[in-house]
Amino acid sequence: MAYLDNIRTFVRVYELGSMSAAARDQRISAAVASARISQLEEHLNVRLFQRTTRKLNPTEQGTLFYHGACKVLDAVDEAEADVSNVTRTPRGTLHVAAPLGLGRRVIGPAMPAFKALYPLINIRLRLSDRKLDLAQEGLDVSFFLGLPEDSTLRLRKIADCPRILCAAPSYLDAHGAPQTTADLVGEAHDCLNLRYPGAPEFQWPLQTPGGVKRINVSGPFESDDGDVLTDWALNGHGIILKPMFEVADHLATGHLVPVLPQEPPIPVQMACLYPHRKQQDPKARLFIDFMADQISRAMQPQ
């Protein structure tokens, strides 16, 4: 198992580009991660990384070994899945990603219940509102809102997620309530946008009497964290477009109120992506099935 542990650590160092990041991901010390890489290099009699003070860059031999190592780990995962199917005791580790709002409100809180059902499955959860590359990030399952960009992956649709435009009463008292989608364009209103490097130009797709219109909106604040946008809205700094489940409590208390309810945002797809090889992995199937049920419940009207 020691050699296999070395390979797993090498793969994560390669994918994350950092010894310390890989160590945190593997729940080992940076010293242990470094020792594992050194042991591999000594065994192979090659240098796998060029080390600088700031970054690790894979050598040509390191890149070749990475692709071979991934095949080895895939074969081991498939063998473990076969054993799990026979023994009905799924085990192993899943690397999972989810948007911040969904992870904080649904997936994270539900993980202890999943762990109680399947104590031999460990979950490494990453939360980000950015779209992540599963292969580059070493992920097994990625939950997301919207449409996927990578058609080479398996997709499972979970639910249609209702969305809403809303703002704090203090903002509407100061700026007035928009009456039509046209009121959102220009400088009359501050719209708070989710934006991250590489994100497309932001538009709000709204259902109008004339059909769906995609409205170009702008405002003084943008963030790559959806919860930051909610905090800004709660403090009266603008209008947000949010999944209903993320702001349901604030709407119930009146801290946020609906905006343009007659022209609401169109629902967005809630789904998950996973590599084809994970289709037969029992621990991945169990996790997706469990969380799909939790997410579907959260999407239902309160």
Interval 69-114: pLDDT, tens: 888 887 777 776 666 554 567 888 899 999 988 999 999 999 999 9
Cα 109 from Cα 165, distance rounded (Å) = 26
Pairing outcome for strands 239-243 and 191-194 = parallel
Q: Full-prediction pTM beyond 0.75? A: no
Closest CA to 249 of 99, 101, 130, 97: 101
Q: Is 57 helix (H, G, I), strand (E, B) or coil?
A: strand
Closest CA to 154 of 269, 271, 275: 275
Interval 16-25: pLDDT, tens: 888 888 888 7
For residue 151, pLDDT over 90 is answered with: no
In this predicted model, which residue has the larger pLDDT, 243 or 24? 243
In this predicted model, which residue has the larger pLDDT, 300 or 69? 69
Cα 46 from Cα 41, distance rounded (Å) = 5
How would residue 253 be classed by pLDDT, with cut points 50, 70 and 90?
very high
pLDDT at position 28 is: 86
Closest CA to 258 of 158, 165, 120: 165
Cα 125 from Cα 288, distance rounded (Å) = 13
